[in-house]
Amino acid sequence: MTLENLKKNLNNCTKCDLFRTRNNIVFSDGSRNAKIMLIGEAPGADEDKIGIPFVGRAGKLLNEFLVQAGLNRKEHLYIANTVKCRPPENRKPLPAEKIACAGNLKAQIDIVKPKVIVLCGTTAMESFIKEKKLTITKARGRVFEYENGIKLVPIFHPSYLLRQHSTEPNSPRELMLKDLKMIKKMAQL
Ligand code: URA
């Protein structure tokens, strides 16, 4: 299976009800050779319109953090979401939708073979880390194991940071930058 085939097959995907309301499949952005794979929650309205993840307000803020951390979105990252189609009214994806799309995400990971998977926000974190009572505030910046030596690192979702403006020490924005710098080092970039 190649990324091209996977993406092409998804155009006809009806495995969950999100196909009824989607305009575009939002498959990925960035480089297939990236050492860092960033996984978000689900496409929003802007992403659904264009077919590229993280292009709306949250995506623009994410880009600013990546630049500040010295990471190049197109070169150093492969970006995807837990589900490839937009949930209506920007609700969180339902468990059945995440299950229906999990094989696509797993295939992306298996093909890209990143060193580090960055779990952006609670939804992505919960798809990979099954610890009970784990919150993103407790988990962010911690390193978890995936498989084949691949590391998992949860970080705050940029949508949350849109509402948090402080850059004081230990503020969510300051921690986000710290986490991204650590992730860059882990990927030996
Ligand atoms: N939020 C996400 O989690 N993913 C996107 O692609 C856009 C916004």
pLDDT in tens, 166-183: 999 999 999 999 999 999
47 lines ligand 1 (CB under 6 A): yes
- C-alpha 16 – ligand 1 centre gap (Å): 19
The verdict on the CB of residue 43 being under 6 Å from ligand 1 is yes
For the entire predicted model, the pTM comes to 0.97
59 lines ligand 1 (CB under 6 A): yes
Average pLDDT over residues 26-51: 98
User: Mean pLDDT, to the nearest integer, of 20-33?
Assistant: 98
Residue 15 CA, ligand 1 centroid: distance in Å: 20
At residue 93, does pLDDT exceed 90?
A: yes
Whether the CB-CB separation of 97 and 83 falls below 8 Å is answered with: yes
Q: pLDDT value at position 85?
A: 98
Q: How far, in whole angstroms, is CA 75 from its chain's centroid?
A: 16
Ligand 1 atom having least distance to the Cα of 157? 3
Angle between helix 95-112 and 3-10 (nearest 10)? 160
Concatenating the DSSP letter of every residue in 172-185 gives HHHHHHHHHHHHHH
